[in-house]
Amino acid sequence: VISQSGDDLYALREFRPGDTLSAVHWKSSAKTGNLRVKEFAHGGFHSFTLFLHILDPETQRMVSSPVLEQRVSETASLAYHLMRRGDEVRLKTHDYESSSGNSEAHLESILTYLALVGFSTPHIKAAETNA
Tell me the three state secondary structure of residue 88: strand
Residues 63 and 108 in one domain: yes
Residues 66 and 18 in one domain: no
pLDDT of residue 8: 64
pLDDT of residue 23: 80
Residue 121 CA to residue 83 CA, distance in Å, equals 26
| Number of domains composing the chain | 2
Q: Which domain holds residue 24?
A: 2-40
**Structure confidence by residue, pLDDT tens digits, 51-100:** 999 999 899 999 999 999 999 999 999 999 998 888 889 999 988 999 99
Residues 58 and 14 in one domain: no
Residues 99 and 68 in one domain: yes
pTM: 0.61
Residues 25 and 52 in one domain: no
Q: How far is CA 59 from CA 54, 55, 102, 113, 128, in A?
A: 11, 8, 34, 23, 28
Residues 28 and 62 in one domain: no
Which among 38, 8, 13 is positioned nearest to 23, based on CA atoms?
A: 38
Residues 89 and 117 in one domain: yes
**Structure confidence by residue, pLDDT tens digits, 1-22:** 444 445 566 678 888 877 777 7
